[in-house]
Amino acid sequence: MMRKVAVIGAGSWGTSLALLLARKNLEVVLWGRDAALMARMNNSRENVRYLPGHSFPPDLLATADLNTALAGADCLLMVVPSHGFRQVYRRLAPLLMEDIPVVSAVKGIENSSTRTMTQVMQEESTAKKHFFCVLSGPSFAEEVAQGYPTAVTVACADIAVAGAVQQLFSSSLFRVYSSSDVIGLEISGAMKNVIAIASGICDGLGYGLNARAALITRGLAEITRLGMALGADPRTFAGLAGLGDLVLTCTGNLSRNRTVGLKLGAGKSLEQALAEMTMVAEGVKTTLSCYHLAQTTGVEMPILEQTHAVLYQNKPCKDAVSDLFQRDLKEENFSL
């Protein structure tokens, strides 16, 4: 039985998951690096900056002290953006109790190493034994905080641990499936953000629903090819963490990554698009990571390549879409 959960990362997604767990009468400590913001959260009983309008249950405490967050925690939930993930985990790893589930809810890949978040944790862990898990699926933070019906997947190499985490997070309107395909969930969660930027670009250009549907479908093919090259189960990509999350992020108005694409398609620079946002769009940095990962694995990923060219080589959006559609014609088949 897990009774105390430490949630590391007080953005909208971390706060939303902390609310979900605290509403189940679990003891939850939400950690963020900004001490003043954490103090304001405790006083106002909500995260006014990142998730306003959702009151904290009595059992939810905010803190900027890692020792307070981790003391007695029998589950750790990591919700720190990928670019700061390693630094934070390195600080807290020596403080963790042994034999507890450590769950990543981060949908990104580290730029410098092209490592997934569970791989980062494995590299940074001390001699203590932990069970590394990943939570992923179609889930906007605002809707989870609202208590809207949501279904996700949790994966762990030890399926019994995945089942325990599944029970921990499940509620009457938050359904969790279990899996052992950790790499499949992580590649799906990272790459769907890249495809969502591309989808937003097409929408911003006014190219219509046909183009969006094509990008989602062929984007799924690219995600599947990369995942399989890294040892993932191909069935994962037809599930919640694959197709489900991809469709949500490419079409939903709450999608940060689609929003970046919309702004780019409308003619704004990447710098302008990011300056207008208060929260992190993981897909921007993940495009770099996945681009290098595709090159090292030799996986063909044309949508990823064109998105990379728009973001980092100043390629005009219209030229990127045109080049995608003028590639050599091919046969579509199940082998992708």
Q: Report pLDDT digits (tens) over 260-288.
A: 999 999 999 999 999 998 777 889 999 99
Q: What is the pTM assigned to this prediction?
A: 0.95
Q: How many helices and strands in the chain, by DSSP H and E?
A: 15, 8
Residue appearing with tokens 């950690």: 31
Residue appearing with tokens 């208590």: 147
What's the one-letter identity of residue 263? K
What's the CA gap between 275 and 278, in Å, rounded? 8
User: Parallel, antiparallel, or unpaired for β 150-156 and 131-136?
Assistant: antiparallel
What's the CA gap between 48 and 52, in Å, rounded? 4
Catalytic positions = 192
Tens-place pLDDT, residues 195-249: 999 999 999 999 999 999 999 999 999 999 999 999 999 999 999 999 999 999 9
What's the CA gap between 269 and 124, in Å, rounded? 36
- CB distance 161 to 167 below 8 Å: no
Residue appearing with tokens 């990272």: 190
Element (H, E) at 75: strand 75-78
Tens-place pLDDT, residues 59-90: 999 999 999 999 999 999 999 999 999 999 99
Give CA 118 to chain center in angstroms. Answer: 12
Q: What residue ranges do the domains of the chain occupy?
A: 4-180, 190-325
Average pLDDT in the 94-117 region? 95
Phi, psi of 97 (to 5 degrees): -70, 155
- Residue 105, classed as helix, strand or coil, is coil
Q: How is domain 190-325 classified at the CATH fold level?
A: N-(1-d-carboxylethyl)-l-norvaline Dehydrogenase; domain 2 (1.10.1040)
Q: Say what angle helices 208-229 and 182-204 make with each other, to 10 degrees.
A: 160
Q: Say what the pLDDT of residue 278 is.
A: 76
What's the CA gap between 229 and 243, in Å, rounded? 18
What's the CA gap between 9 and 80, in Å, rounded? 5
Cβ atoms within 10 Å of 331's Cβ, excluding its own: 5
What's the CA gap between 5 and 69, in Å, rounded? 8
Cβ atoms within 10 Å of 84's Cβ, excluding its own: 13
Q: Say what the pLDDT of residue 334 is.
A: 59
Residue appearing with tokens 């090159």: 295
pLDDT band at 129 (very low <50, low <70, confident <90, very high): confident
Q: Which CATH architecture has domain 4-180?
A: 3-Layer(aba) Sandwich (3.40)
What average pLDDT does the chain have?
Answer: 95
What's the CA gap between 205 and 6, in Å, rounded? 42
Average pLDDT in the 24-51 region? 97
Q: Say what the pLDDT of residue 127 is.
A: 67
Q: Say what the pLDDT of residue 279 is.
A: 78
E-strand ranges in 164-236 read: 174-179
Element (H, E) at 15: helix 12-22
Report the candidate in 223, 227, 187, 210 with the shortest Cα–Cα distance to residue 301.
223
Average pLDDT in the 327-332 region? 92
Q: Please state, in angstroms and as integers, the Cα–Cα distance from residue 253 to each residue in 74, 155, 260, 285, following that order.
A: 36, 27, 11, 21
Instruction: Pinpoint the alpha helices (H) of 127-181.
Output: 141-146, 159-169
